[in-house]
């Protein structure tokens, strides 16, 4: 028995397991898309002190080796050791709060018959063939099912032994048109819903028989190393040899690692259905389709409606025949993630006009009701997802998620996810910080930190910083970044409203989506001029609606059809050449806005 | 320039080409499934004399190398040389006689609208996207086609460059539900119809635009090395490690070699559709599906109705997306070749009752009319296809196809295909020989050669032979073999007639199918008791109806549907346990039959 100490202060014991196993058993999930076989090179960590034995160094360079890097899945401690846990871990939410599930449960509460996944488990009692009534095995199944169904060459070749071994009582997995697997009767059917964001990837493991979300896991999109936003990713894919393949491998490996992590405890079943919800570029890259022309006017995707291909073609390490459905996109800059979001928000069912805002690396906006839907996209940047900000992080344990400042005492209070020492700031925390510092006059209308107005402002490397803790601060550049992001979002909303000839006042509901964690402080977001100035009770924060919509499509074939209808109905308006948008954006680069009239209730 | 002399006496010149190229240019086609790249090892031949340079010996053993074997595609003569051309060549019929095409042209003469291949070439003028009317490339095509069509992941990824390179005017290849290729406007569309027999494989190259059969090619099924009939092949597949894979590779390589040979001169197009017509076991092996249970009571195939898989899955070296349709089978011992045969015979359209007999390695029999069809199968063995007989060969150049004997002068006349010296005897020749020798009393009713009744009877190795030429003869064992085959066919017919309660006299037409070449001498076949004793004018020889039916399915989607209906309608009767069949078989082991009553008009 040896002790393992992490750089974060935890102490674990090992009794002969690999480092990967020890960390997993304490819910620290390193990415391992190969499932711990030492062949993906992704569970890299550094041993700071102590002895250990490592059986393979796949994917670790000589330089890294000298620094102590090993593959966690191939390493066994041989003394007490100290390790450095990588920053980019997989986050798994095992006990999902009711608040998070509200969105994905609502449609089925309203109409239980909607629960009907595309893949189904069917038990069949087959009549064995006789000389008098001889039938081919596959026709025998077709007749028992009373359906003209298809099957793959590989699967049908397994049929005769499977039938006989199971004495003509078998369980098959069916889609609408095809038998996709033979399973043991007690094998559970799982589905996976995937949200591929430019910055963050999230998946939900779903029990397809009980219609229940089991675990949710997320991590950063590894493509971040190749650029922060979709444009730089497209450039990378186009201008580098194998660029597209490299980016594709990043996201496929991420998803495989997430699946491995959540599926570890569910080896009682098979994953037989996948829904992909992603922005247009991410969906193209996921499928290995060149996104080149999305970047060039008139911003043309290769396809918006994806045929249902399968897991083998997607390179997902699950049942190769499992269908992989991709939620339809609208245009080059409004993807299936937004269609999924509208599905989850249910605004497509309502008589009144709603506004939907998805604040991710792109900021997409949708206005409409049950009759019509209009959408546009602005480039917000990844700051609200914790990327491109000095101490930014996703809304996971250790993230500052709220902040309040008291000018009189020049002191502040923070709330950290998981009630632990802060290790970074997530999107909602950033909005709070900028909003509070502006309200209390610590930053001016242009967002500049005013030197001397707080003891927490320090100059480091010629730049002002507001210091929150030993390792958490926000710099002038960070604030400028946040203001540009909020300006893009606000300008998108106001331009789109004008385009469709609607005033803010006509909006009865504003749905906010994005990876902000459990919540966003609407009042504070209003104060910085990020959102239209409406009564607070009209706003509702929905969380990750892209994932929620993907879950709905996985649980319900009808809702998947509805998603297609939403995609067909939605009209895209291109703001990229709109003078109006540029004017709005420039005006919104102030706190809250150059046009005080619009925010007069606030002031 | 060097001279190449073959063991058959031909002399060719070479000017730097490979041996394979020289032989090809003189219409001697060695199998070369890799197309002459030196990686299939199938174009092996022996250099008897002379110098040559060989760049690769792939697939040639050290022993063979010592004997002078080389790969023709990798060998360049460096002096005048003498080569030994292998016996098993590919036969290509380039100018197909009208007689042969009659069957496949008839349905379209009766109803020209039947000509409608499943794959079509469609030229599209696509509206380029604009900012005002932006569409994804694939949706743009869907809208232009006005059809909700599918596409493979790989193909769609080629779409954007193809569209732009061709300035938005493109030509696509469509099936009912999918775009399977993008082509240049002048690329011709070809289809291939394949007949996989247990002994012989034949293909037809078809111009899908003009609806015309271009070339027909055939060769022996290389699986012959692993057994003469389907039963021994199944045993090989089941009992040997990789047995199924080995047999599959044989037939797939054969088909690829045939395609390569006929397609050599048609590089102006692409092969985008394939129809497979085969007996049940051959179809299973072609698709890599274990035929194990076809051999075990109750003789259950894995499937009779095959989903349409594609060329990549079939391992055919043509466009990977090309659909490969397999004609539906009826039972373990009545396959798609018989369904194709019925389709080609048109007996399914007639009011009167017809009898259809396909004399291949299996002898299948069908009785019926437009209302009903009943079928059974007997094991005839491969002798009529030239296999398992001392001097047997297929009905190709050099084969004795007819024989007549004059007792008075103890002399005989032969007709050889291609009017050349005989190199073997094909099925129709064998029937003639046995029939003539029996009529003239050279063999007795049991089929025994009567020593001393002809100068041509010689004893070699304790066995009687009838000598026809220096290298052509027929042995006592050969005659026994032929009698067993004719007995199985006759017993199959008479048992089936009895099963359906019909007498010979009720049959208005007898269609004979099989690889006999251009014809079969009905009178002589009647004399040995191979066929029911009916007036000669009720018989019609149709040739290879399996290939003809496959051609029809390739040319017409509607006829493919008709084939499916024929398969659904046909009732299979199993003769394997029928006492009646065994009695009939034993009685038929005499010439013409033990029951002289049945053949009284003949005697």
Greatest alpha-carbon span in chain B: 98
Do residues A439 and A432 touch, judged by C-beta distance below 8 A?
Answer: no
Q: Which band of pLDDT confidence, cut at 50, 70 and 90, is reported for residue A391?
A: very high
Domain B189-326 is classified in which CATH homologous superfamily?
Domain of unknown function (DUF4445) (3.30.420.480)
Tokens describing residue B30: 């060695």
Nearest CA in chain B to A304: B136
User: Do the chains contact at B130 and A298, CB–CB below 8 Å?
Assistant: yes
**Is B238 touching A (CB cutoff 8 A)?**
no
The counts of H helices and E strands in chain B are 16, 30
Tens of pLDDT, residue by residue over B233-272, are: 999 999 999 999 999 999 999 999 999 999 988 888 999 9
Nearest CA in chain A to B151: A307
Tokens describing residue A58: 């796949």
User: Do the chains contact at A302 and B153, CB–CB below 8 Å?
Assistant: no
| CA separation for the pair A117, B509 (Å, rounded) | 55
| CA separation for the pair B481, B382 (Å, rounded) | 10
Q: To probe the interface with B, which of A127, A135, A147, A153 has the most B CB atoms within 10 Å?
A: A153
Query: Which residues make up the CATH 3.30.420.40 domain(s) of chain A?
Result: 346-382+482-596
Residues of B in contact with A297 (CB under 8 A): 131
- Looking at 3.40.50.300, 3.10.20.880, 3.40.50.150, 3.20.20.10, the CATH number of the domain A120-174 comes to 3.10.20.880
Is the pLDDT score of A584 beyond 80?
yes
Tens of pLDDT, residue by residue over B182-211, are: 999 999 999 999 999 999 999 999 999 999
Domain A346-382+482-596 is classified in which CATH homologous superfamily?
ATPase, nucleotide binding domain (3.30.420.40)
Peptide bond into A298 cis (omega under 30): yes
Q: Which band of pLDDT confidence, cut at 50, 70 and 90, is reported for residue B95?
A: low
Q: Which band of pLDDT confidence, cut at 50, 70 and 90, is reported for residue A94?
A: low
**Is A143 touching B (CB cutoff 8 A)?**
no
| CA separation for the pair B284, B332 (Å, rounded) | 10
What DSSP designation does B460 have?
Answer: E
Domain A188-326 adopts which CATH fold? Answer: Nucleotidyltransferase; domain 5 (3.30.420)
Residues of B in contact with A157 (CB under 8 A): 287-290, 302
Q: What is the pLDDT of residue A601?
A: 67
| CA separation for the pair A595, A597 (Å, rounded) | 5
Do residues B347 and B368 touch, judged by C-beta distance below 8 A?
Answer: yes
What DSSP designation does A506 have?
Answer: G
Q: CB within 8 A of B382, min separation 6: which ones?
A: B198, B199, B224, B228, B229, B360, B361, B388
Nearest CA in chain A to B302: A137
Tell me how far CA of residue A143 lies from CA of A124, A126, A159, A310, B326, in angstroms.
11, 9, 15, 26, 20
Residue B175, phi then psi, degrees to nearest 5: -105, -170
Tens of pLDDT, residue by residue over B425-470, are: 999 999 999 999 999 999 999 999 999 999 999 999 999 999 999 8
**Is B331 touching A (CB cutoff 8 A)?**
yes
Q: To probe the interface with A, which of B160, B248, B294, B570 has the most A CB atoms within 10 Å?
A: B160
Q: Which of B134, B313, B574 sits opposite A331 (nearest CB)?
A: B134
Q: What is the pLDDT of residue A577?
A: 80
Give the SS3 label for residue B244. Answer: helix
Nearest CA in chain B to A332: B136
State the first-to-last Cα distance of chain A, in angstroms, to the nearest integer. Answer: 63
Q: Which of A292, A302, A574 sits opposite B156 (nearest CB)?
A: A302
**Is B472 touching A (CB cutoff 8 A)?**
no
**Is A307 touching B (CB cutoff 8 A)?**
yes
Average pLDDT over residues B581-592: 94
Average pLDDT over residues A561-581: 93
Buried b (16+ CB within 10 A) or exposed e, B260-271: bbbbeeeeebbb
| CA separation for the pair A4, A77 (Å, rounded) | 8
**Is B293 touching A (CB cutoff 8 A)?**
yes
A-contacting residues of B 155-214, CB under 8 Å?
156-157, 159-160
Tens of pLDDT, residue by residue over B275-298, are: 999 999 999 999 999 999 999 999
User: Do the chains contact at A134 and B572, CB–CB below 8 Å?
Assistant: yes
Is the pLDDT score of B42 beyond 90?
no
Do residues A372 and A569 touch, judged by C-beta distance below 8 A?
Answer: yes
Q: What is the pLDDT of residue A489?
A: 94
Residue B182, phi then psi, degrees to nearest 5: -110, 135
Residue B245, phi then psi, degrees to nearest 5: -60, -40
Around Cβ A111, how many Cβ atoms within 10 Å?
12
Q: Angle, to 10 degrees, between the axis of helix B545-555 and the axis of helix B98-110? A: 40
CA B176 to chain centre: 28
Average pLDDT over residues B220-233: 91
| CA separation for the pair A76, A85 (Å, rounded) | 16
For residue B46, give how far its alpha carbon lies from the nearest alpha carbon of chain A (Å): 39
- Looking at 3.40.920.10, 3.40.50.740, 3.10.20.520, 3.10.20.30, the CATH number of the domain B2-86 comes to 3.10.20.30
**Is A534 touching B (CB cutoff 8 A)?**
no
For residue B571, give how far its alpha carbon lies from the nearest alpha carbon of chain A (Å): 11
Is the pLDDT score of B97 beyond 60?
yes
For residue A233, give how far its alpha carbon lies from the nearest alpha carbon of chain B (Å): 17
Nearest CA in chain A to B155: A289
Buried b (16+ CB within 10 A) or exposed e, B356-377: bbbbbbbbbbbbbbeeebbbbb
Query: Which residues make up the CATH 3.10.20.880 domain(s) of chain B?
Result: 120-174
For chain A, helix, strand, coil in percent to 5 are: 35, 25, 40
For residue B287, give how far its alpha carbon lies from the nearest alpha carbon of chain A (Å): 7
| CA separation for the pair A421, A415 (Å, rounded) | 10
Q: Which band of pLDDT confidence, cut at 50, 70 and 90, is reported for residue B99?
A: low
**Is A293 touching B (CB cutoff 8 A)?**
yes
Q: To probe the interface with A, which of B294, B300, B314 has the most A CB atoms within 10 Å?
A: B300
Tokens describing residue A586: 């420039």
**Is A243 touching B (CB cutoff 8 A)?**
no
Residues of A in contact with B309 (CB under 8 A): 152-153
User: Do the chains contact at A307 and B151, CB–CB below 8 Å?
Assistant: yes
Q: What is the pLDDT of residue A602?
A: 63
Tens of pLDDT, residue by residue over B460-510, are: 999 999 999 988 999 999 999 999 999 999 999 999 999 999 999 999 999
Tens of pLDDT, residue by residue over B336-373, are: 999 999 999 999 999 999 999 999 888 999 999 999 99
For residue B380, give how far its alpha carbon lies from the nearest alpha carbon of chain A (Å): 22
Q: Which band of pLDDT confidence, cut at 50, 70 and 90, is reported for residue B98?
A: low
User: Do the chains contact at A300 and B574, CB–CB below 8 Å?
Assistant: no
Tokens describing residue B236: 């090989």
Tens of pLDDT, residue by residue over A396-446, are: 888 999 999 999 999 999 999 888 899 899 999 999 999 999 999 999 999
Strand partners, A179: A151, A174
For residue B127, give how far its alpha carbon lies from the nearest alpha carbon of chain A (Å): 13
For residue A145, give how far its alpha carbon lies from the nearest alpha carbon of chain B (Å): 15
Closest CA to A163 of A125, A112, A213: A125
Q: Which band of pLDDT confidence, cut at 50, 70 and 90, is reported for residue B524?
A: very high
| CA separation for the pair A477, A389 (Å, rounded) | 8
Residues of B in contact with A137 (CB under 8 A): 293, 300-303
């Amino acid at each position: 028995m040896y002790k393992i100490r992490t750089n974060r202060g935890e102490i674990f014991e090992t009794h002969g397991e690999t480092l990967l196993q020890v960390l997993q058993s304490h819910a620290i999930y390193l990415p391992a898309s190969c499932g711990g076989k030492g062949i993906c090179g992704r569970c890299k960590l550094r041993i700071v002190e102590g002895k250990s034995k490592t059986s393979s160094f796949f994917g670790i360079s000589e330089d890294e080796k000298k620094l102590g890097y090993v593959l966690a899945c191939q390493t066994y401690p041989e003394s007490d050791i100290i390790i450095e846990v990588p920053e980019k871990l997989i986050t798994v939410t095992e006990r999902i709060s009711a608040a998070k599930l509200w969105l994905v449960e609502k449609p089925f509460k309203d109409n239980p018959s909607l629960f009907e996944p595309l893949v189904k488990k069917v038990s069949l009692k087959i009549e064995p063939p006789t000389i008098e009534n001889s039938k081919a095995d596959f026709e025998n199944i077709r007749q028992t099912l009373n359906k003209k169904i298809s099957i793959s060459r590989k699967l049908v070749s397994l049929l005769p032994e499977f039938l006989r071994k199971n004495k003509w009582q078998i369980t098959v997995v069916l889609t609408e048109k095809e038998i996709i697997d033979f399973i043991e009767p007690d094998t559970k059917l799982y589905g996976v819903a995937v949200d591929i964001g430019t910055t963050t990837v999230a998946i939900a493991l779903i029990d397809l028989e009980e219609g229940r979300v089991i675990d949710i896991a997320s991590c950063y999109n590894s493509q971040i190393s190749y650029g922060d936003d979709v444009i730089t990713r497209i450039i990378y894919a186009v201008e580098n040899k194998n660029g597209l393949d490299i980016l594709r491998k990043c996201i496929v490996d991420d998803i495989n690692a997430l699946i491995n992590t959540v599926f570890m405890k569910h080896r009682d079943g098979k994953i037989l259905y996948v829904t992909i919800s992603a922005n247009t570029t991410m969906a193209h890259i996921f499928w290995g389709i060149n996104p080149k022309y999305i970047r060039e006017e008139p911003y043309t995707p290769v396809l918006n409606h994806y045929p249902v291909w399968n897991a083998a073609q997607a390179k997902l390490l699950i049942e190769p025949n499992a269908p992989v459905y991709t939620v339809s996109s609208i245009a080059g800059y409004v993807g299936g993630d937004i269609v999924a979001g509208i599905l989850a928000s249910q605004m497509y069912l309502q008589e009144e006009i709603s506004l939907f805002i998805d604040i991710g690396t792109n900021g997409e906006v949708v206005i409409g009701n049950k009759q019509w839907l209009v959408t546009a996209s602005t480039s917000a940047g990844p700051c609200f997802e914790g990327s491109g900000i000095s101490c930014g992080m996703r809304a996971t344990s250790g993230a500052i998620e709220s902040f309040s400042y008291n000018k009189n005492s020049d002191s502040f209070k923070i709330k950290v996810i998981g009630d632990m020492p802060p290790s970074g700031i997530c999107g909602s925390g950033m909005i709070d910080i900028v909003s509070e510092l502006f309200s209390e006059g610590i930053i001016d209308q242009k967002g500049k930190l005013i030197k001397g107005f707080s003891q927490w402002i320090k100059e480091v490397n010629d730049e002002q910083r507001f210091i929150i803790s030993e390792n958490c601060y926000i710099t002038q550049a960070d604030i400028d970044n946040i203001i540009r992001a909020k300006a893009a979002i606000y300008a998108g909303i106001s331009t789109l409203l004008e385009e469709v000839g609607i005033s803010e006042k006509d909006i009865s509901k504003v749905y906010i989506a994005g990876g902000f964690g459990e919540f966003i402080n609407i009042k504070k977001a209003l104060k910085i001029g990020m959102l239209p100035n409406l009564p607070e009770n009209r706003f509702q924060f929905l969380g990750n609606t892209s994932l929620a919509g993907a879950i709905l499509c996985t649980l319900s074939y009808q809702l998947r059809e509805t998603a297609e209808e939403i995609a067909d109905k939605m009209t895209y308006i291109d703001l990229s050449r709109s003078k109006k948008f540029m004017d709005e954006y420039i005006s919104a680069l102030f706190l809250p806005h150059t046009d005080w009239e619009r925010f007069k209730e606030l002031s």
